[in-house]
Structure 1
Amino acid sequence: MFVHLVKVVVRVRKYRQGIKYGIHISPNACGYGLHIPHIVGGVIINASRVGNYCIFNTGVVIGNKDCQENRPTIGDNCEFAIGSKVYGKITIGDNVIVAPNSVVYKDVESGMVMSGVPAQVIGRNKKTV
């Protein structure tokens, strides 16, 4: 009985914090080191997997296309700038940077910098290890 009550309280608190700050993150989707520097304006992360040490700025939408199985998979050390969008069943490699207001709907190799609508490769990430 007590465990059930604790689960309900945790769900209610998570829901209220999400409404307050405009954030929705799928349960058990993000690795450790998740960083959201600006929470005003909303962030939606509905991915099947998000790697470690990813950065999501305000207005970022990571979402599915048509059904819950069509969600993106994001690698480690990725950075999503203000207003960037990622849709569909795609894979984004490690150390990828997505520029502001870009829309990604195709697979991205590791170490790329993406920009535009639709997003295209504009260079390589200099921070790639």
Structure 2
Amino acid sequence: MSIKEKIKQHPGLKRLSLYLLMPENQARPRTWVRWFINPFVHPKGKGSLIRRRTRMDVLPFNTFRLGRYSTIEDFATINNGMGAVIIGDNTRIGIGNVVIGPVTIGNNVIFAQNIVLSGLNHGYTDPEVPISLQPCSTAQIIVEDDCWVGANSVITAGVRIGKHAVVAGGSVVTKDVPPYTVVAGNPAKVIRRYNTTTGQWERV
């Protein structure tokens, strides 16, 4: 059994480890973790760039990976506290994006500004318990290669966006998006689909 598994199974050790990694009731790791642990646990791909004003709520007990020649722009927030965040090659995470794991983003993906992807949901079903104290659930978000997501869109937990799909600005995506389609609206629906026979993007 690994050290990580032993800590998870021992409540006291788990509480102590979390206290050492980040302040109580905070998502951001302590300075010593950001400076001395994360650079070795989460190496960046060749030519990749994380802008100076990005908030990296990245902890060593879950995966964070940034591919080659990818960029995370200013004022974005990346959080792997509840699940891995994996970003492929030649991908741009735009200004003000929020990415909360578990999230996997493919290669050659473009995210515009102020997009939220959250693989995390807070529990709320017990009205006698504050929502902040109820258990959280997670469901993986997957964005396949060559996608483009427009500004101010929201991608909810458990959604898969297929290859070369486009999400129009301001959309709220609550269901899987088929490959080679354009979706728009709240909730997002398919409005165009690529026709391989005609070579045209056709209205649905």
For the structure 1 residues 114 and 61, does the alpha-carbon distance in structure 2 shift closer, same or farther, using more than 3 Å as the test?
A: same
Q: Does 1:21 align with 2:74?
A: yes
TM-score normalised according to structure 1 size: 0.76
Equivalent in the alignment of 1:101: 170
Structure 1, 25-34 or 71-80: larger mean CA deviation: 25-34
Q: Is the Cα contact below 8 Å between 1:85 and 1:101 reproduced in 2?
A: yes
Equivalent in the alignment of 2:98: 44
Which runs of 4 or more aligned residues in structure 1 lie more than 6 Å from their structure 2 counterparts after TM superposition? none
Q: Percent identity?
A: 27
The AA in structure 1 aligned to 2:154 is K
Structure 1, 22-31 or 103-112: larger mean CA deviation: 22-31
- Distance across 2 between alignment mates of 1:24 and 1:65: 14
The AA in structure 1 aligned to 2:162 is G
Secondary structure of the corresponding residue to residue 86 of structure 2: coil
Secondary structure of the corresponding residue to residue 124 of structure 1: strand
Equivalent in the alignment of 2:43: none
1:8-63 deviations in Å (ceiling 9; x for gaps): 5859xx79632492112346510011124x52xx1112242100010011111111
Q: Could you tell me which of 147, 163, 166 is aligned with 1:78?
A: 147
Long gaps (5+) in structure 2:
1-32, 41-49, 56-72, 122-135, 195-199
Whose Rg is larger? Answer: 2
- Distance across 1 between alignment mates of 2:88 and 2:34: 27
Q: Is the Cα contact below 8 Å between 1:31 and 1:51 reproduced in 2?
A: yes
- Distance across 2 between alignment mates of 1:98 and 1:25: 21
The AA in structure 2 aligned to 1:95 is H
For the structure 1 residues 76 and 68, does the alpha-carbon distance in structure 2 shift closer, same or farther, using more than 3 Å as the test?
A: farther
Equivalent in the alignment of 1:30: 87
In the TM superposition, residue 64 of structure 1 has moved relative to its aligned partner by: 2.0
The count of residues paired between Structure 1 and Structure 2 equals 119
Q: Does 1:123 align with 2:192?
A: yes
- Distance across 2 between alignment mates of 1:109 and 1:5: 38
Q: Is the Cα contact below 8 Å between 1:74 and 1:91 reproduced in 2?
A: yes
Higher relative contact order (CA 8 A, sep 6+): 1
For the structure 1 residues 15 and 8, does the alpha-carbon distance in structure 2 shift closer, same or farther, using more than 3 Å as the test?
A: farther
The AA in structure 2 aligned to 1:57 is A
The AA in structure 2 aligned to 1:55 is I
Structure 1, 82-91 or 22-31: larger mean CA deviation: 22-31
TM-score normalised according to structure 2 size: 0.50
The AA in structure 1 aligned to 2:183 is M
Long gaps (5+) in structure 1:
none
- Distance across 2 between alignment mates of 1:5 and 1:44: 19
The AA in structure 2 aligned to 1:29 is I
